[in-house]
């Protein structure tokens, strides 16, 4: 079976608002107030919790590895308590997933978000059952850009890992697909969209309505 594997944050959904809120919870506990700015720092948010803590602490001149390590679990707990307050799927994302499933492709997710949080978010948003597989940052001993999480996501979705495609939004996704020897499609509507062309993916995606045609062109029809 051919499979379409999606990154989550910044690809299927804009999760930046809830991520930034969790990071600012940590900064307030440290006594710095709200350091990261909604909208302005969305690209930082979509690079993960440690990246938000690192950037915020450097912004206020208080960066230390031990501080990041101390507050990372605090951030994850705060995020889990309000994981779907601001998060929204990008226009057409879930509709495209449905179209691809109906065409016979296996559908999965490969994300560097911890698996439990990704599962919680998808469940809260009411779409967990749309994805046959979910491989997170801690599902395997390695994470993206190692190719094995992508391959495992394809296998768990019932597919051949050599016949999958990764839909993402970052150099991490591009490098993961390249390492796996499969094509990637990078979205241009996220906060880092203007930088995607320079990564030379097999295709760029401006709107999810175009995804089924791109997938068929790059890995062939499902049947």
pLDDT greater than 90 at residue 155: yes
Helices (H), 6-114: 16-30, 42-45, 49-59, 65-81, 93-103
pTM of the model: 0.95
Looking at residue 134, its pLDDT comes to: 98
**Cis, bond preceding 35 (omega within 30 deg of 0):** no
The tens digit of pLDDT for each residue in 120-147 reads 999 999 999 999 999 999 999 999 999 9
pLDDT greater than 90 at residue 223: no
Catalytic residue among 7, 14, 18, 41: 7
Domain assignments of the chain as residue spans, ordered by start:
3-14+88-219, 16-81
Task: Write the CATH number of the domain with boundaries 3-14+88-219.
Answer: 3.40.50.1000
Looking at residue 192, its pLDDT comes to: 86
State yes or no: is 7 an active-site residue. yes
């Amino acid at each position: 079976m051919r499979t379409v594997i999606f990154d989550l944050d910044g690809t299927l959904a804009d999760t930046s608002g809830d991520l930034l809120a969790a990071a600012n919870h940590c900064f307030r506990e440290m006594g710095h107030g709200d350091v990261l700015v909604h909208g302005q720092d969305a690209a930082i948010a979509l690079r993960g919790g440690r990246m938000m803590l690192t950037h915020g602490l450097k912004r206020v001149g208080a960066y230390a590895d031990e501080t990041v390590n101390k507050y990372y679990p605090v951030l994850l707990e705060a995020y889990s308590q309000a994981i779907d307050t601001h998060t929204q799927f990008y226009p057409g994302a879930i509709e495209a997933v449905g179209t691809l499933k109906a065409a016979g492709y296996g559908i999965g997710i490969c994300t560097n978000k911890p698996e439990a949080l990704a599962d919680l978010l998808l469940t809260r948003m009411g779409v967990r059952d749309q994805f046959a597989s979910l491989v997170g940052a801690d599902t395997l001993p390695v994470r993206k850009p190692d190719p094995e999480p992508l391959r495992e996501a394809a296998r768990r979705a019932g597919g051949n890992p050599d016949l999958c495609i990764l839909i993402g939004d970052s150099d991490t996704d591009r490098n993961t697909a390249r390492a796996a020897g499969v094509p990637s499609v990078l979205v241009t509507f996220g906060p880092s969209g203007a930088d995607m062309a320079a990564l030379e993916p097999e295709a760029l995606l401006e709107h999810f309505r175009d995804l089924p045609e791109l997938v068929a062109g790059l890995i062939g029809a499902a049947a």
